[in-house]
């Protein structure tokens, strides 16, 4: 997929205010409030901004944290990781490699086989159901 490079104004025109706040300003939705935190439907989860497939439902699990959680991305190439020192914490932020949308964070308290928990905002995703 070709890298997406849009101005903040272009993103504001395309996204609703909450999606813009989360994906373009590194916001976070309230726990247990997002569309996909408890979703069991099979399919692929794509970036809401550019459509890049980021996660598959077979890697999704209930971590109890209130956000959709995955133990691995669709591939290492679709996710970029950055150190996030906001809110007096040190965390690893995850962003869409294709369009730089903020997705959430990754933690090392996940299940086997990876031991990772990708804690992702529902507002950053769109589900493409299996057909």
49 is in an annotated binding site: no
Helices (H), 1-131: 8-14, 17-25
Active-site option among 39, 49, 65, 119: 119
Look at residue 100 and give its three-state secondary structure: coil
39 is in an annotated binding site: no
Which residues on adjacent β-strands are paired with residue 106?
Answer: 92, 118
- Is 119 a known active-site residue? yes
CA-nearest of 118, 26, 38 to 75 is 118
Contacts of 98 (CB under 8 A, 6+ apart): 1, 3, 4, 47, 50, 52, 78
* Contact between 54 and 78 (Cβ < 8 Å): yes
Q: What is the C-alpha end-to-end distance of the chain, expressed in Å?
A: 22
99 is in an annotated binding site: yes
Feature table: binding site for Zn(2+): 47, 50, 96, 99
Feature table: binding site: 47, 50, 96, 99
Active-site residues: which are they? 119
């Amino acid at each position: 997929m070709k890298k997406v490079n849009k101005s903040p104004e272009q993103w504001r025109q395309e996204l609703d205010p909450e999606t813009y706040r989360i994906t373009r300003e590194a916001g976070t939705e309230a726990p247990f409030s997002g569309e996909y935190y408890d979703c069991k439907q099979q399919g692929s989860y794509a970036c809401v901004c550019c459509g890049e497939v980021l996660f598959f439902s077979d890697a999704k699990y209930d971590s109890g944290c209130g956000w959709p959680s995955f133990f691995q991305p669709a591939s290492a190439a679709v996710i970029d990781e950055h150190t996030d020192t906001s809110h007096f914490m040190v965390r690893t932020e995850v962003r869409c490699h294709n369009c730089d949308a903020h997705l959430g964070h990754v933690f090392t308290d996940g299940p086997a086989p990876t031991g990772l928990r990708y804690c992702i905002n529902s507002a950053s995703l769109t589900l493409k159901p299996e057909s």
